[in-house]
């Protein structure tokens, strides 16, 4: 896929805005890669060339970064990219089984979109949501306590246009391209919406405050006050 001149012209001011956020232009490479991915759905060779031009880097420099991070795709993926955590606790709780079942159910391999272009899957490393294991993410939004069957239902709803809402975080899903635009530094206004912490997460916070535990290992004589504060954060 070629990055058209129209797209280059449209993206250039946004690229300049991103670069202006950093004291050194090279530091803007990661969000710039997300920017071109938001346009094409993946990082094409033209996208790499665009980033190199904006930053005065070689295409080899940019390719080295784009190929290192798994969030940048070098070929098209689905409109809804489903990441199944297969690290430690999620794997033990069924993550491996979920991923294997989804690949079989959809008839695709890792990073391969379904024929309708709606869904692709991959295994991802820890999503820092072990208290809700096994966890699945769709365009980086959480779906907690999943099973093979609930994961099948999820991807089926994504393909048929069902009303799919994340378990926590944003109240509505965005597309893969839209998620890339957010990661480039252009928010969609959902950051302050939805529930970001649930009972499983707050239980640990509540226990720590009841016991007076501190990060440095010292005791807290105001444990009762801390417990009340934890209750208020639910």
- The set of residues, in sequence order, having a beta carbon less than 8 Å from that of 166 and lying 6+ positions away, is 138, 141, 142, 143, 172, 173, 194
Task: Tell me the C-alpha distance between 151 and 176, whole Å.
Answer: 18
Predicted confidence at residue 143, as pLDDT, reads: 96
Task: Cite the residue boundaries of each domain of the chain with CATH code 3.40.30.10.
Answer: 80-174
Task: Cite the residue boundaries of each domain of the chain with CATH code 1.10.10.
Answer: 5-66
Q: How many other C-beta atoms are found inside a 10 Å radius of the C-beta of residue 160?
A: 10
Tell me the C-alpha to C-alpha distance, in Å, between residue 75 and each of 101, 152, 174, 210, 215. Answer: 23, 24, 20, 50, 43
- The set of residues, in sequence order, having a beta carbon less than 8 Å from that of 231 and lying 6+ positions away, is 206
pLDDT tens track for 29-69? 999 999 999 999 999 999 999 999 999 999 999 999 999 99
- Fold type of domain 5-66: Arc Repressor Mutant, subunit A (1.10.10)
Look at residues 13, 27, 28, 65 and name the one whose alpha carbon lies nearest to residue 184. 28
21: tokens are 């956020």
- Fold type of domain 80-174: Glutaredoxin (3.40.30)
Predicted confidence at residue 73, as pLDDT, reads: 97
pLDDT tens track for 165-175? 999 888 889 99
pTM recorded for the entire structure: 0.85
Predicted confidence at residue 230, as pLDDT, reads: 47
């Amino acid at each position: 896929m070629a990055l058209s001149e129209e797209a280059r012209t449209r993206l250039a001011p946004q690229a300049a805005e991103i670069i202006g956020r950093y004291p050194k232009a090279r530091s803007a490479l990661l969000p710039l890669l997300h920017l071109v991915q938001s346009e094409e759905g993946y990082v094409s060779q033209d996208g790499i060339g665009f980033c190199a031009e904006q930053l005065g880097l070689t295409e080899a420099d940019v390719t080295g970064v784009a190929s290192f991070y798994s969030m940048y795709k070098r070929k098209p993926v689905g409109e809804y990219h489903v990441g199944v955590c297969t690290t430690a606790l999620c794997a033990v709780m069924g993550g491996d089984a979920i991923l294997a079942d989804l690949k079989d159910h959809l008839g695709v391999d890792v990073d391969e979109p379904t024929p309708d272009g709606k869904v692709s899957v991959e295994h991802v490393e820890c999503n820092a949501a072990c208290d809700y294991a096994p966890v699945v993410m769709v365009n980086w939004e959480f779906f907690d306590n999943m099973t093979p069957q609930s994961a099948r239902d999820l991807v089926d709803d994504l393909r048929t246009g069902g009303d799919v809402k994340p378990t926590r975080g944003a109240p509505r899903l965005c597309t893969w391209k839209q998620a890339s635009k957010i990661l480039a530094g252009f928010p969609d206004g959902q950051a302050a919406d939805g529930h970001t912490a649930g009972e499983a997460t707050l239980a640990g916070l509540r226990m720590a405050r009841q016991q007076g535990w501190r990060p440095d290992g010292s005791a807290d004589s105001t444990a009762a006050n801390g417990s009340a504060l934890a209750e208020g954060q639910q």
